[in-house]
Structure 1
Amino acid sequence: MPKQAIIPPGTGVPLAPYVPGTLADGILYVSGTLPFDKDNNVVHAGDASAQTRHVLETIRGVVEAAGGTMDDVTFNHIFVKDFADYPKVNAVYAEFFPGVKPARYCIEANLVKPDALVEIASIAHIGKK
C-alpha cells in the first residue's frame, strides 16, 4: 500500500518527525494539529474559540491538499487542556461540520505547549465516493 505525505503550501517545520497528513488507499490521516503559526508559536493565547477555529482551518488545509473537503472527515480525536473550554470548542466545531457529524472523542490532556488549549487529529475518507 503506497502512502503519500500531504504537506499544504506554507506549512512550517514540525516540532517532531511527522507530516501534517498521510494519504493511503483513499484514507487521510491528519496529524494532531495545534494552534501554531508557521514558526510553531501558539496563536490566540487564552482564546479557546479562536484556537479551535485556527486548528480546524489548518486541518481543512490538509484535507483540501489531499483532494477532499471537511465533509469527508469521518473521525476526530479532540484534546482540550481544560474541560471548561468544551462548550467553546463545540460551538466552533459545529460551524465546520454542519451536516452529518464525524464520530469523535474528546479528552482533557496536557498539550505540548502551555498556551495551547486544543489539539485535534482527524481521519478523512477521500477515496471512492
Structure 2
Amino acid sequence: MKKVISTTNAPAAIGPYSQAIEVNGMVFASGQIPVNPATGEIPEGIEAQAEQVLTNVKNLLAAAGASMEQVVKTTVFIQNMDDFGKVNEIYAKYFEGACPARSCVEVSKLPKGVLMEMEAIAAK
C-alpha cells in the first residue's frame, strides 16, 4: 500500500503528482526545484539553487521519517553541464560516507526556469 508524503517544508507540487510516495519501506521523492517553500522565491546562481534543492530534498525525506543517509539513488538534472563541479561541491555537503548511486544529466529546460532539479529514492 502506498502512502502519500506531503510537507510545507518543501515546495508544493506544481502539477498532478505527489511530493513523495512511500511504499514497502522505500521513499520516492519527486524532483525538487530550488523554490524556497516559505517565500516562493528562487535564489540566484547554481550554488544557491543547489543548496535550496538539497535542503528541499532533506526536508521532504524528514517528512517521510527518512534522512539523507538513507538515500540510495538520486537523479540530478542541470541546465548546464559546466556547473557539474559546483553542484558536486554542494552535493557532497549533504552526503557523507557511502554516497548514493547517482545519475546527472544536462537538460535544456526545467520548471520555472531553474538551473537544477533533483529526485531521490531512500530506503527506510
Please indicate, yes or no, whether the TM-score normalized by the shorter chain is above 0.5: yes
Query: Are the aligned partners of 1:13 and 1:39 in contact in 2 as well (CA < 8 Å)?
Result: no
Normalising by structure 2, report the TM-score: 0.91
Structure 2: gaps spanning 5 or more residues: none
Secondary structure at the aligned position of 1:87 is classed as helix
Aligned equivalent of 2:8: 9
Give the fraction of aligned pairs with identical amino acids, expressed as a percent.
30
Q: CA deviation at 1:12?
A: 4.7
Q: CA deviation at 1:10?
A: 4.5
Normalising by structure 1, report the TM-score: 0.88
Aligned equivalent of 1:34: 33
RMSD across aligned positions (CA): 1.7
- Distance verdict in 2 for CA 1:40–1:86, change over 3 Å: farther
Aligned equivalent of 1:78: 76
Distance 1:44 1:12 in 2: 14
Distance 1:78 1:120 in 2: 4
Q: CA deviation at 1:20?
A: 1.1
Q: CA deviation at 1:113?
A: 2.1
Aligned length: 123
Is 1:104 matched up with 2:71? no
Aligned equivalent of 2:43: 44
Out of 36-45 and 71-80, give the one that drifted further: 36-45
Pairing partner for 1:95 from 90, 93, 96: 93
